[in-house]
Amino acid sequence: MTPTPPLLSIVVPTFNRARFLEEALGELTAQWAALAADDRAAVDVVVVDNGSEDTTPEVTARFARAGALRVVRRPVNIGPSNTWRCTEYAEGDFVLIHSDDDVLLPDGLSTIVTALRSHPDVDALSPNIRDFATELFDGSVAFARSADARRSAADLHVELGSLITYISALVYRRSLVADLPYEEVYETYLPHSYGFVDILSLGTTFLALARPCIGYRNDNAGPYDYVHVFLDQYFRLLARAQSRGLPADDVAEIRRAHLRRHVVPMLVRVKAQGAFGEAFVDWPAARRRLREHYSGSDRALCELLALLTRTPAPVVRGVLAARKALRPRGSEPVAAREHP
């Protein structure tokens, strides 16, 4: 008799992040163990170690011995392609690529499993997420959803915006993209995002969850040039989405939102605080690329950003401190663990 495949495979690509991975796997396996027996049997967890040189093998072996997950260790590092190629080891009908420095929020796993069981027709669902500092959730939820809701592919594209680059952005039906080749985009740092674009173009039914399920870090970026990835490569990704049927008006809306919600805050933050993780910003390239990629109504904002790139960091920090001091009382975010 052929065994029944799991409902959900959670695949964790990792490389040299033992400290973060231990926290991620600790929460993931604890929530897996707390599921009802039928749901535990329906969830497959696999860690794909990209040839780590730190204590990652010891961390993964400890969790594997407890019986909560499988471990695949690559003999050599295959680079950014592991972010997508890790899914080759998934066995479930659905897949969640779980970033090795993300942490499931309380009841996050049971929320996802329940949604998949309650909506067997969906091709993908978007789990809500929260940003958090290393040990303190700041409470900023990505999507202010009042209830779970069906979305069209275009609506979910627009809602996700630049968060389609987030590794854990979608839980998706594996059969949609299991046989598609992505070799040509492995070195973009966004191979998973190309998969997500194709999922939204090939699927028909999508669900957006209201309850925050996953917490993510902002300060743990890998070694990449921010301008190259989130301007040049991101716009290449949007061109892929448009070629797959995303309307041009929606692409334009996403581009504008990307500038205001992603590029501006990130460049301001890096200018004030310095590099984040191992990522870096090439400021002359940032000025050039902003002017190349944006025009018309966005030109004035791009010129302000160009001015920012030449402004001394202490001045930027002073402006941010003054802005924070003028923030009205009661506007501070609510801690994530207070969320009902």
pLDDT tens for residues 230-255? Answer: 999 999 999 999 999 999 999 999 99
The crossing angle, in degrees rounded to 10, of helices 248-258 and 234-243 is: 160
Task: Give the pLDDT of residue 333.
Answer: 39
Across 107-121, 178-192, 222-236, the highest mean pLDDT is recorded for 107-121
pLDDT confidence tier of residue 135, bands split at 50, 70 and 90: very low
Task: Give the pLDDT of residue 134.
Answer: 42
- Count CB-CB contacts under 10 A for residue 181: 6
Q: Is the pLDDT of residue 291 over 80?
A: yes
| pLDDT tens figures, 311-326 | 888 888 887 778 777 7
Range with lowest mean pLDDT among 3-7, 25-29, 69-73: 3-7
The proportion of the chain whose per-residue pLDDT surpasses 70, expressed as a percent, equals 90
pLDDT confidence tier of residue 216, bands split at 50, 70 and 90: confident
Range with lowest mean pLDDT among 151-155, 220-224, 228-232: 220-224
Closest CA to 121 of 198, 209, 205: 205
3-state secondary structure of 94: strand
Q: Is the pLDDT of residue 138 over 70?
A: no
Report d(CA 71, CA 44) in Å as an integer: 11
End-to-end CA distance of the chain: 43
Report d(CA 30, CA 98) in Å as an integer: 15
Task: Give the pLDDT of residue 54.
Answer: 95
Q: Is the pLDDT of residue 335 over 70?
A: no
Report d(CA 53, CA 180) in Å as an integer: 31
Q: What letters, b where the CB count within 10 A reaches 16 and e where it falls short, cover 192-201?
A: bbbbbbbbbb
Q: Is the pLDDT of residue 66 over 90?
A: no
Report d(CA 90, CA 11) in Å as an integer: 7
Token pair belonging to 242: 């448009």
Report d(CA 310, CA 292) in Å as an integer: 18
3-state secondary structure of 323: helix
Report d(CA 184, CA 72) in Å as an integer: 24
Backbone angles phi and psi of 121, in degrees to 5: -90, -10
Closest CA to 313 of 269, 276, 257: 269
Overall average pLDDT of the 188-196 stretch = 95
- Count CB-CB contacts under 10 A for residue 251: 18
Task: Give the pLDDT of residue 48.
Answer: 98
Token pair belonging to 45: 């967890």
Task: Give the pLDDT of residue 329.
Answer: 56
Q: Are 138 and 131 in contact (CB under 8 A)?
A: yes
Report d(CA 28, CA 103) in Å as an integer: 7
For residues 270 and 232, the model is more confident at: 232
- Residues whose CB falls within 8 Å of the CB of residue 288, separated by 6 or more in sequence, listed in order: none
Task: Give the pLDDT of residue 21.
Answer: 94
Q: Are 175 and 94 in contact (CB under 8 A)?
A: no
Task: Give the pLDDT of residue 336.
Answer: 32
Q: Are 309 and 227 in contact (CB under 8 A)?
A: no
Token pair belonging to 25: 């796997």
Token pair belonging to 252: 């334009």
The residues with which 14 forms a beta bridge, in sequence order, are 49
Q: Is the pLDDT of residue 220 over 90?
A: no
Range with lowest mean pLDDT among 30-44, 97-111, 215-229, 279-293: 215-229
Q: Are 171 and 112 in contact (CB under 8 A)?
A: yes
Q: Does the pTM exceed 0.75? A: yes
Q: Is the pLDDT of residue 293 over 50?
A: yes
